[in-house]
């Protein structure tokens, strides 16, 4: 199959979905361009800050476009390119974008509240507590994993690797640090000048180019542990500083770079017109690189997450983006539009991986290495020196993780605060302490840092299930809000049903496999051995994963049951009559 044909077909579908299906959703739910949004009515200069539509789009797009749309499709290619392609296409249009749009819409219509607080209002306090606990644990896992990924990407002192790799990493680190400084300056500048239209884009691209040039000229060499400390120090600032001062302008600048990466990859594919050298379909059960059997259902649907549907997106939509929307008419491009752009990246990643495959097999290396190396090769065809192309792609890869990382750190802090917050009740003792944003940030990042030192690897295999379970729970909660508000929520029913089936099946299979391993083990170890062998059950990996799987399954069942009961029992009356407890 010609890769260009796949890419062009996908882009046509995504554009059509944006102009047809998302407008239908907008009409069904009701948008009032004259309504005063929470960002305007509740402006506080911290979280609630009205921003231009593109600035909010850039925050949404940069935050949701993490590692997933690159790694997921490439890993899922083990089933063949066709299943992954179809799931990105249908999942993105009818699941993911609807989920993101619905979460943003519900939040804007409810004073910019997070999904957890919306659950409290329409379902009950217990549902809120369970959901926010789930969100906080999920945030810890992402903080740990992405923090480790970014620190590894910035490591310019790795022994036994080519000097060019270390230099590219150091350049990416330098660019990222300059991005942070530039973001603060841009934040102050845009607060005073209020740039709009072409002037805003020219300014953003100019700052981006200068930052890239200086960063490439002056790389910063440091080891992984040093960068891990620096990254977490940055996360503390990003979590507590006003959003207009650091996160919003940083995402604003990052968006130009990420869109530039996507455009460069698309142009490279159009010039090369490569064939996808992967099998279209390898069967419903395949062996992965480690020899383990993987089943298309449910593995495909939890592997391709951010490129199709991702629960994390709802945390961004309702946690930060909703507090910046100036006009309700901006919600559709900010949410549905950002998801369609991410879907394009997912298809690009799949086609790029297929283009460099040989005899139906992907080349050696991680998904990021396959993607960044291939796109860097495309860029050299346009006359860009290889070292600059490598530094640019390394920076883009780190940006994919870092822009999601600072958002999830802020959202994790807010989830912990909201868990202990009771509206109309004076906070005392521990609750008063943990509703302080500085304390909540320190606790969240402290636990995340400990996990980043190695512990997260034990439970990371369950991330896909947790992410998609979160998406299912959010869709149920938004459907409850829609029904209570006498709006149509039917577009959520099939997606949420499928995602519940996917995630509970995946968690059930994980638990079954781990319990079987526990029963049949011939050797029980506490710590992870240097050389794993068959018949071993390791407490700090297998045991921790088993506990976490049971915890996810239990929390998921309780929240889903609570929300589903409200969905099918709720009367379409005023919201006050729906509040349980």
For residue 286, report the phi and psi dihedrals to the nearest 5 degrees. -135, 165
**pLDDT value, residue 206:** 94
Sign of CA dihedral 407, 306, 69, 513: positive
Distance from C-alpha of 133 to C-alpha of 115, rounded to nearest angstrom: 12
pLDDT tens-digit series, residues 453-477? 876 777 778 888 999 999 999 999 9
Reference 479, options 580, 577, 560; nearest CA is: 560
- Give the whole-angstrom CA distance, residue 297 versus residue 331: 33
Q: Is there a contact between 157 and 169 (Cβ–Cβ < 8 Å)?
A: no
3-state DSSP call for residue 67?
coil
pLDDT of residue 62: 93
| pLDDT the model gives residue 72 | 92
Ramachandran quadrant class, 288 (left: phi over 0; alpha: psi -120 to 50; beta: rest): beta
- Give, for 18, the enclosing helix (H) or strand (E): none
500/167 Cα distance (integer angstroms): 45
Q: Is 411 helix (H, G, I), strand (E, B) or coil?
A: helix
* pLDDT at site 143: 93
Neighbouring CB atoms inside 10 A of 217's CB total 9
Token pair of 131, please? Answer: 């959901």
> Domain limits of the chain?
3-418
Q: According to the model, what pLDDT value does residue 524 have?
A: 87
Q: How many Cβ atoms sit within 10 Å of the Cβ of residue 544?
A: 16
- From the number of C-beta atoms within 10 Å of its C-beta (0-12, 13-18, 19+), residue 475 rates as buried
Alpha helices for 273-385 (secondary structure H): 296-303, 311-319, 331-332, 338-355, 367-380
Q: Which residues of the chain fall below pLDDT 70?
A: 455, 570-581
Asked if 316 and 62 touch (Cβ cutoff 8 Å), the reply is no
């Amino acid at each position: 199959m010609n890769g260009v044909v796949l890419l062009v077909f996908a882009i046509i579908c995504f554009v059509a979905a944006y102009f047809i299906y998302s407008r239908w959703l907008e009409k069904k739910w009701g948008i009032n361009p004259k309504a005063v949004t929470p960002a305007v009515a509740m402006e506080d200069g911290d979280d609630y800050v009205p921003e231009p539509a593109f600035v909010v789009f850039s925050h949404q797009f940069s935050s949701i476009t993490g590692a997933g749309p690159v790694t997921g499709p490439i890993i899922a290619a083990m089933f063949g390119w066709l299943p992954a392609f179809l799931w990105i296409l249908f999942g993105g249009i009818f699941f993911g974008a609807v989920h993101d749009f619905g979460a943003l819409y519900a939040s804007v219509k409810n004073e910019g509240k997070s999904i957890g607080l919306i659950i409290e209002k329409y379902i009950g306090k217990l549902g809120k507590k369970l959901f926010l606990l789930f969100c906080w644990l999920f945030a810890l896992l992402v903080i740990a994993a992405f923090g480790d990924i970014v620190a590894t990407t910035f490591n310019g002192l790795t022994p036994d690797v080519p000097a060019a790799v270390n230099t590219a990493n150091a350049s990416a680190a330098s660019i990222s640090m300059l991005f942070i400084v530039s973001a603060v300056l841009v934040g102050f500048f845009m607060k005073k000048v209020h740039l709009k239209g072409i002037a805003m884009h020219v300014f953003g691209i100019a700052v981006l180019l200068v930052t890239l040039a200086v960063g490439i000229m002056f790389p910063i060499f440091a080891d992984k542990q040093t960068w891990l400390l620096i990254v977490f120090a940055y996360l503390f600032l990003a979590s507590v500083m006003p959003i207009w001062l650091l996160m919003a302008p940083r995402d604003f600048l990052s968006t130009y770079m990420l869109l530039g990466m996507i455009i460069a990859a698309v142009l490279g594919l159009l010039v090369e017109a490569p064939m996808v050298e992967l099998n279209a379909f390898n069967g419903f059960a395949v062996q992965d690189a480690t020899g383990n059997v993987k089943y298309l259902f449910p593995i495909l649907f939890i592997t391709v997450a951010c490129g199709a549907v991702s629960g994390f997106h709802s945390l961004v939509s309702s946690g930060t983006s909703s507090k910046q929307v100036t006009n309700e008419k901006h919600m559709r491009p900010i949410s549905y539009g950002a998801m369609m752009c991410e879907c394009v990246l997912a298809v690009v990643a799949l086609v790029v991986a297929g283009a460099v495959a040989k005899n139906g097999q992907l080349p050696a290396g991680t998904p990021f290495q396959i993607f960044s190396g291939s796109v860097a090769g495309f860029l050299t065809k346009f006359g860009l020196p290889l070292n600059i192309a490598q530094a640019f792609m390394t920076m883009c890869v780190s940006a994919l993780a870092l822009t999601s990382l600072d958002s999830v750190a802020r959202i994790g802090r807010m989830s912990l605060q909201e868990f202990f917050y009771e509206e109309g009740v004076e906070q005392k003792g521990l609750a008063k302490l943990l509703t302080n944003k500085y304390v909540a940030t320190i606790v969240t990042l402290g636990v995340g840092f400990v996990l980043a030192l190695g512990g997260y690897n034990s439970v990371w295999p369950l991330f896909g299930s947790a992410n998609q379970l979160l998406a299912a729970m959010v869709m149920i909660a938004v459907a409850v809000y829609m029904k209570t508000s006498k709006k149509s929520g039917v577009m959520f029913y099939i997606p949420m049903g499928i995602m519940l089936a996917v995630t509970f099946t995946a968690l059930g299979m994980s638990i079954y496999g781990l319990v079987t391993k526990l029963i049949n083990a011939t050797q029980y170890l506490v710590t992870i051995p240097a050389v794993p062998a068959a018949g071993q059950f390791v407490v700090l990996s297998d045991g921790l994963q088993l506990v976490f799987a049971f915890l996810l399954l239990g929390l998921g069942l309780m929240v889903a049951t609570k929300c589903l009961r409200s969905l099918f029992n709720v009367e379409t009356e005023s919201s006050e009559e729906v509040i349980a407890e």
